[in-house]
Amino acid sequence: MPKEIKFSLVYRDMWQSSGKYQPRVDQLKQIAPVIIDMGCFARIETNGGAFEQVNLLYGENPNLAVREFTAPFNKVGIQTHMLDRGLNGLRMNPVPSDVRKLMYKVKRAQGVDITRIFCGLNDPRNIIPSIQYAKEAGMIPQASLCITHSPIHTVDYYVNLATQLIEAGAEEICLKDMAGIGRPQSIGQIINGIKTRHPNVPIQYHGHTGPGFSVASMLEAAKNGVDYLDVAMEPLSWGMVHPDVITIQAMLKDAGFVVPEINMEANMEARRLTQTFIDDFLGFFIDPGNKIMTSLLVGCGLPGGMMGSMMADLKGMHNAINMALKQNGKKEVTLNNLLVQLFNEVENIWPMLGNPPLVTPFSQYVKNTALMNIFAAAKNEPRFSMIDKDSWNMILGKTGKLPGTLAPEIIELAKANNLEFYDGDPQAPFSDELDRYRKEMQELGWEEGPDQEELFEFAMHERQYRDMKSGAAKERFNKELEDAKEKVGTPIIVKRPVVEIPMFSFEEITAVYPFAKPVHAPCSGQVIWQYDMMNASTAPFEGASIEKGTNLCYIQNAYGIEPVPVGYGGTIVGTYVKQGAQVQKGEILAFIN
């Protein structure tokens, strides 16, 4: 009897892999009934991961977005699924266990059927608790295998990992091929191995199209017993996204599989509506480079889902790197040159950092380290001279066990910085916090919301939730959109407020201070010149002396507060941003002579 293959539309992930933003709740409500009319989807990815943070960045309540988007699918029996980062919940850093537990109760109440649980390190200790929490809440726990390609990540490695997760209670398995670099034959062998041991466990394959393997991988997956395939649809399929449902359906039908028919009239309407969302405002934040595939990803293995943020980081650092190259008498590089350098550096340092599968947040950590290495080389500084605290946490084992072995020079660098390695339970250092958030909500007069969803959102995304409640997020987004519309057809460069002190160019500064060196923002976020909790009682000012290693300022980002220590001592001869200003990674904060 022919094997039946079902399709899941990863509608929100399509946007995540294309650019910075996703449809608003009103747009999600428009597209949902049309997706249903297409008649070919058994499942829809409706929320999770970074999706809900995007709602907050709009100044929009993500709880409303999840309820509104899942409701139409719930009514017609289409299953909904979310993306779940295990230890990190829906954010980029670890979440206390009481907040993790509440997440599944909230999401089930909001209409989400399945949670796709993954750990970027494939550490079962980060996945198994979420399996239990999901089952207790009545959700279907789908445990993920983050697929990558290395001597460590063999077929047996993945089949054994799947068995461990199934024995711990996982009811489904997902092969999360986030960069699309899983080789087709290996994908088939992994699925075959899991099905041989566990024939009744449903398997879903999620593969991005970036390096071009995905169509072949889906055929091999189907031949070896996969039950569900994640697909996209035009105008956002292919590129760094996912294969188009029409192509995959035609391929599988020709190969003799039972696949659903597609209502092409509804498909064209869904395509039209999606294009209107692009034309409305989302297209301003889509990087053209994410619309094409590139074989360069075969080597570096970076995932499609981070390409939007990666290109923004690269553009933000481009001028800073060229400035450093020029200052040191070296040839400047184009953005394309820099992209190739970044891919090569990621490929080089990945095994040195223990071969973490390149998926959020570890793909960002490896990419950030690689980018800082390129910047360091431009300044004639040694490799790994700038590693942020989140990357160190990964290296030290605080977020889970690395699959591979750290390079000796990384171990020596940790020792030189008096950093200690950790092999305990990654959850243990993070104590419960719901009571603290509940108490503050009572003091502020905020409601916990139906099914405690507002309490959950506050605890999961504290800073973004505050900005949503205050209106600051909406105001910031509207300004960003206004700036973007002024630059139609060109890369988006958000205008930044400056202090009253004139913004001198690099040439003007060095004409007066020939040995002045710029201090660049190590990450994107909000500049804090004074931060009492960090014992910075006074803000640096022009003409003040500053010692090497002293924190010039702090930057608040999605991960927390990032200090900005200076790599050299001297006198501050220029400051470029005022308190509370938003900066991009690589922007100049000040000059030190």
Q: Which residue has the higher pLDDT, 529 or 368?
A: 368
Q: Has residue 132 got a pLDDT over 70?
A: yes
pLDDT range class, residue 467, cuts 50, 70, 90: very high
Q: How many CB atoms lie within 10 A of CB 229?
A: 26
The dihedrals phi and psi of 153, each to the nearest 5 degrees, come to -90, 75
**What pLDDT, on the 0 to 100 scale, is given for residue 252?**
98
DSSP state of 232: B
Three-state DSSP class for residue 410: helix
d(CA 11, CA 366): 27
Q: Has residue 492 got a pLDDT over 50?
A: no
d(CA 344, CA 337): 11
pLDDT range class, residue 500, cuts 50, 70, 90: very low
The tokens for 575 are 């400051």
> What tens digit of pLDDT does each residue of 215-270 get?
999 999 999 999 999 999 999 999 989 999 999 999 999 999 999 999 999 999 99
Q: Has residue 25 got a pLDDT over 70?
A: yes
| Window from 287-296, 375-384, 523-532 with minimum mean pLDDT | 523-532
Percent of the chain with pLDDT over 70: 90
pLDDT range class, residue 552, cuts 50, 70, 90: confident
**What pLDDT, on the 0 to 100 scale, is given for residue 513?**
62
Residue pair 165/124 in contact by the 8 Å Cβ criterion = yes
Query: Average pLDDT in the 12-20 region?
Result: 89
Q: Has residue 488 got a pLDDT over 70?
A: no
Using alpha carbons, list the distances in angstroms from residue 117 to 62, 86, 126, 131, 427: 19, 6, 9, 8, 15
**What pLDDT, on the 0 to 100 scale, is given for residue 558?**
58
d(CA 405, CA 411): 10
pLDDT range class, residue 533, cuts 50, 70, 90: very low
**What pLDDT, on the 0 to 100 scale, is given for residue 359?**
80
Query: Residues 106, 111, 116, 118: what is their CA dihedral angle, to the nearest 10 degrees?
Result: -20
Query: Average pLDDT in the 332-349 region?
Result: 88
**What pLDDT, on the 0 to 100 scale, is given for residue 498?**
29
The tokens for 67 are 């309820």
| Window from 137-141, 275-279, 359-363, 492-496 with minimum mean pLDDT | 492-496
pLDDT range class, residue 305, cuts 50, 70, 90: low
* One-letter amino acid of 213: F
Q: Which residue has the higher pLDDT, 529 or 71?
A: 71
Mean pLDDT of the chain: 88
The tokens for 289 are 């480079």
The tokens for 454 are 């507002």
Residue pair 325/378 in contact by the 8 Å Cβ criterion = yes
**What pLDDT, on the 0 to 100 scale, is given for residue 47?**
94
Residue pair 492/484 in contact by the 8 Å Cβ criterion = yes
